[in-house]
Amino acid sequence: MSETTTGAHLSQVWHDVLGTQPAPALWLVWATAAAALLLVVSRPSWRIGRNLVTIAHEGGHGLAAVLTGRRLTSIRLHSDTSGLTVSRGRPHGPGMVLTAAAGYTAPPIVGLAGAWLLSADHITALLWLAIVLLFLMLLMIRNAYGVVAVLVTGGLIFAVSWFASASVQAGFAYVVVWFLVLSGVRPVIELQAKRSRGEAPESDADQLGRLTPFPAGLWIFLFFAVSLACLAVAASRLLSVTP
């Protein structure tokens, strides 16, 4: 690609980021919802797709820590799709509570924010905002698998936004957003199943149970309720497209 062609492409991308794109046909919105649902319920695809949920989960912890004045020191993503975010500050209080609560609620909330952008026809802006957020998260990753996971995710989004047609970008963006809002419920169910077997004594819900007067079970119910609410609102936004 020549320098002139590259410059023209950059100018077009910047124009697309600031502008809007045509809304996809309603059948495509339903098709991407079905595809995302299949990714969530199918065990093999969930095993891969859960890495995206973990990125959003740990990113939620990290962002909450920064916004509440804690010092974010590291984020680790593991090959078993678990993760760990470490921040320093008061071991108790609102900042610690919000940081602990942000993990399971982050994927559906991020998905809801994405649904709002898509319903406003800001498809390219959504893709590039995701790239920026992944780059900022990459600065805090402290293990090799985490670096690879974030780079692969960001690289895929960049490739779609840079090389793919507008229709492919729309389909990709809708699948990702549907996946995030649909996948909010499954990790909460998995967490409760692990807790019932005594396998997750240090889960976010259990930490919140020790940090607050409310038991871990109530926090799990809150995670579940937030996920369902985000899914309902996001679905109403995404299915109201008018091409």
pLDDT score recorded for residue 20: 78
| For range 128-139, the mean pLDDT | 96
Residue 6 pLDDT grade (very low, low, confident, very high; cuts 50, 70, 90): low
Contact 195, 204 (CB under 8 A): no
Whether pTM exceeds 0.85: yes
pLDDT score recorded for residue 50: 95
pLDDT digits (tens, 9 = 90+) for 202-223: 899 999 999 999 999 999 999 9
pLDDT score recorded for residue 7: 63
pLDDT score recorded for residue 15: 65
pLDDT score recorded for residue 240: 87
Give CA 86 to chain center in angstroms: 19
Tokens of 79: 């090959």
pLDDT digits (tens, 9 = 90+) for 159-199: 999 899 989 999 999 999 999 999 999 999 999 999 888 88
2-11, 82-91, 224-233: which has the minimum mean pLDDT?
2-11
Which of 21, 38, 212 lies closest to 122 in space, CA to CA?
21
Q: CB count, 10 Å around CB of 144?
A: 11
Tokens of 153: 């995710």
pLDDT score recorded for residue 181: 97
